Structure 1
Amino acid sequence: MSQAEGGAPAPAFPGRRRYRRRLRSRIILSFALLGLGLTAMFAIAAAFVGAVVEDQAVGSVLKENVDDYAQRFYEDRTAQWAPLGSVRAHVYGPGGRHNVPPEWAELDTGVYNITGEESGEPFVYRVVVKKDPDYWFFLAQDMTSTAEVRARIKLILIAAVVLFTLLAGVIGWWSAARVMRPVSELANLLGASGDKAGPGELAPHFPDDEVGELATALDDYAARLTEVVQRDREFNADVSHELRTPLAVVKGAVELLLSRPDLDEKTVARLQRIQRAEQQCTDLISALLLLSRAERGHGSTDVCRVAEQLLEAHRSQLGGKALELLLEGEAGTLVVDAPESAVSVALGNLIGNAVKYTTAGTVIVRLRERAVDVIDSGPGLSAEDAAHLFQRGYRGSHAEHTHGGGIGLSIVRRLCRLYDWQVRVVPGAERGVVATLRFDVDADEAG
Structure 2
Amino acid sequence: MRGRTIRLRLTLLYAGAFFIAGAILVALMYFYLDQSLDRRYGVGAQRLVREYLTKRNRPIVSEELYAALTAQAAKERRDTLEAMLVWSLVSLGAIGIAAGGLGWLLAGRVLNPLQQITATARRVADRSLHERIDLTGPDDEIKDLADTFDAMLERLDRAFDGQRRFVANASHELRTPLTINRTLIEVALDDPDAPESTRRLGATLLEVNHRHERLIDGLLVLASSEPRLIERSRVDLAEIARRVVAVADQAGIEIRADLAAAPVSGDPVLLERLAQNLADNAIRYNVGESGWVAIRSASTAGSAQLIVENTGPVVPAFEVDGLFEPFRRLASGERVAESAHTPNSRGAGLGLSIVRSVANAHGGEVRATARPEGGLTVIVSIPNEKAGGTR
TM category (shorter chain) comes to: 0.5 to 0.7
Aligned with residue 226 of structure 1, among 153, 157, 177 = 157
Amino acid at match of 1:21: T
Q: Establish whether residue 434 from structure 1 lines up as the match of residue 372 from structure 2.
A: no
Cα distance in structure 2, aligned partners of 1:348 and 1:193 = 34
Q: Is structure 2 residue 277 aligned with structure 1 residue 345?
A: yes
Distance in structure 2 (CA, Å) of the matches to 1:198 and 1:349:
37
**CA separation in 1, counterparts of 2:100 and 2:248?**
67
- Residues 192-220 of structure 1: CA distance to partner in whole angstroms, max 9, x if unpaired? 999999566937x4444444434432443
1:379 alignment counterpart: 314
1:303 to 2:244 alignment: yes
- 1:345 and 1:412 in contact (8 A); partners too: yes
Q: Does 1:168 find its partner at 2:99?
A: yes
Cross-structure match for 1:327: 253
The count of residues paired between Structure 1 and Structure 2 equals 336
| CA deviation profile, 1:312-347 (whole Å, cap 9, x unmatched) | xxxxxxxxxxxxxx610399x99x964664444343
Higher helix share: 2
Larger Rg: 1
- Name the counterpart of 2:291: 364
- Give 2:66's match in structure 1, choosing from 84, 87, 91: 84
Map 1:94-133 to 2 at 5 A.
none
1:111 is matched with none
SS at 2:66 equivalent: coil
Separation of aligned partners in 1, 2:66 and 2:369:
96
Which runs of no fewer than 5 residues in structure 1 stay unpaired?
Answer: 1-16, 69-78, 89-124, 126-140, 312-325, 441-447
Q: Distance between the aligned counterparts of 1:58 and 1:407, measured in 2?
A: 94
Cα distance in structure 1, aligned partners of 2:122 and 2:246:
46
1:401-447 CA distance string (max 9 Å, x none): 9999987534322223456887553333x52233346799xxxxxxx
SS at match of 1:329: strand
Identity %: 21
Amino acid at match of 2:168: A
Matched, 1:416 2:364: no
Hey, what does 1:118 align to over in structure 2?
none
Deviation at 1:224, TM superposition (A): 1.8
After superposition, the Cα gap between the structure-2 partners of 1:27 and 1:351, relative to the gap in structure 1 and judged at 3 Å, is: same
- Residue correspondence of structure 1 range 396-411 to structure 2 within 5 A: 399=331, 409-411=352-354
Corresponding residue number in structure 2 for 1:21: 5
- Could you tell me whether the CA contact under 8 Å between 1:36 and 1:165 is conserved in 2? yes
What is aligned with 2:25? 42
Contact kept in structure 2, 1:421 and 1:437, CA below 8 Å:
no
Partner of 2:173: 242
User: Any conservation in 1 of the 2:279–2:308 contact (CA below 8 Å)?
Assistant: no
Q: Which has the higher strand share?
A: 1
Superposed displacement of residue 35, structure 1:
1.7
In the aligned structure 2, how far is the partner of 1:279 from the partner of 1:390?
22
1:347/1:60 Cα in 2 relative to 1: closer, same or farther (>3 Å)? farther
For each residue in 1:221-255, what CA deviation from the matched residue of structure 2 results, as whole angstroms up to 9, or x when unmatched?
A: 33323321221222122222212222322332343
TM-score by length of 1: 0.54
Q: Does 1:270 align with 2:226?
A: no
Q: CA deviation at 1:161?
A: 0.7
Say if 2:33 and 2:81, in contact at 8 Å, map to a contact too.
no
CA spacing shift, 1:347–1:28, aligned 2, 3 Å: same
Q: CA 1:217–1:411 in 2, change beyond 3 Å: closer, same or farther?
A: same
Identify if the C-alpha distance between structure 1 residues 401 and 189 changes in structure 2 by more than 3 Å, giving closer, same or farther. closer
CA RMSD after TM alignment: 5.4
How far apart in 2 are the matches of 1:257 and 1:439?
A: 47
